Amino acid sequence: MLKDYLRLHFIVLLWGFTAILGRLLSLPPVELVEWRTGLATLGLGLLLLARRRPGSAGSWPETLKLLGTGALVATHWITFFLAARLSSVSVCLAGLATLALWTSLLEPLLLKRPVRSYEIGLGLLSLLGLWLVSGAAPTQLLGLGVAVVSAGLSALFSIINSRLVRRHEPLVLTLWEMAGACLSVALFLPFYARFFTPDHQLHLALHGYDWLWLALLAGACTVYAFAASVELMRRLSPFAVNLTINLEPVYGIALAVLFFGDKERMAGGFYLGTGLIVLSVLLHPVVEHRMKKYREARQTQPESLGLN
């Protein structure tokens, strides 16, 4: 069990490393996502082949749903890497930490469930933290805003995936979503080059250590991290997994300071605000777990009274 927990923390550390790799790579965000999703699709396909598992998504409507969700994933990653370029890795990760806030807002709308009072309280705490972050980094508001939008996109496809994963094996689901992400970016590239690049050219060539950073991003942070996390989820409780994954911004910000030094050092208000956001994120699964136990106890209490 200890070995599994250490491995899970290592996986979350890898996910926290993605924003740093995005800064180290010379590729622009759109071209970067095209490389990442293409290599991830290839890696996942080889992994399924090695494990001798079928890679079919089933019917065409199901396949199109997975490909469409992949396009949403690509948009999230493009805005994520763009936010890291427009601001700093630390500010980008602080904005991305609002994922839990977005989920608490979108889940009641998309899944038609009632709003939970504790989520409103935690959401207000997260908003207070976001306000402190914005006040501590006024010159990086654009990057922070893009990161918050990226977090909203991440929450959206996570909610969609929570339904799709019931019908598809996780590795197969991710293979088709990565393929959809790669295909959607490839279709967007001509339009992107014509209207969004200053020289009307694509910059897909790798320079210097780009091949190494890209291999780490696609291989270690995407294919390995996902496959290993799926394996661990079979042995660890969802509560433990979700609580650990919520530490991603903490690991990422610590790594950013380690790699980039003074460029990533922020004012005290930034760390206070980020701390409040992370606190709201960490408290969410804890409160949810206790409320679930409370509801289960309320449901079983009448039955036990009847038996007595």
Rounded CA-CA distance 83/147 in Å is 5
Chain mean pLDDT for the chain: 87
* pLDDT on residue 303: 47
pLDDT at position 308 is 40
Q: 13-16 contacts: CB < 8 A, separation 24 or more?
A: 13/251, 13/255, 14/220, 14/221, 14/224, 14/225, 15/221, 15/225, 15/245, 15/248, 15/251, 15/252, 16/93, 16/247, 16/248, 16/249, 16/250, 16/251, 16/252, 16/253, 16/254, 16/255
pLDDT at residue number 180 = 96
Mean pLDDT of 57-80: 92
CA 134 – CA 130 distance, rounded (Å)? 6
Q: Tell me how far apart the alpha carbons of residues 138 and 151 are, in angstroms, rounded to a whole number.
A: 20
pLDDT digits (tens, 9 = 90+) for 34-57: 999 999 999 999 988 988 888 888
Average pLDDT over residues 245-262: 86
Query: What percent of the chain is predicted at pLDDT more than 70?
Result: 96
Q: Report whether 15 contacts 135 (CB < 8 A).
A: no
Q: If we measure between CA atoms, which residue out of 174, 165, 210, 173 comes closest to residue 28?
A: 210
Q: Is the pLDDT of residue 175 over 80?
A: yes
Predicted confidence (pLDDT) per residue in 182-201, tens digit: 999 999 999 999 888 888 89
Assigned token pair, 282: 């960490």
Whether 123 contacts 280, CB under 8 Å: yes
Please determine, for residue 234, whether its predicted confidence score (pLDDT) is greater than 90. no
pLDDT-derived band at 307 (thresholds 50, 70, 90) equals: very low
Q: What is the pLDDT of residues 138-158, one digit of tens each?
A: 889 999 999 999 999 988 988
Q: Is the pLDDT of residue 301 over 70?
A: no
- 94: which 2 tokens? 């602080």
What are the residues whose beta carbons fall under 8 Å from the beta carbon of 80, sequence distance 6 or more? 18, 19, 22, 92, 96, 147, 150, 154
Cα distance between residue 145 and residue 87, in whole Å: 10
pLDDT surpassing 60 at residue 6: yes
Taking residues 206-235, report their average pLDDT: 88
Q: Which residues contact 196 (CB under 8 A, 6 or more apart)?
A: 30
| 265: pLDDT strictly greater than 60 | yes
Is the pLDDT confidence value at 297 over 60?
yes
Report whether pLDDT(237) > 80: no
Query: What is the pLDDT at residue 85?
Result: 92
The predicted model scores a pTM of 0.87
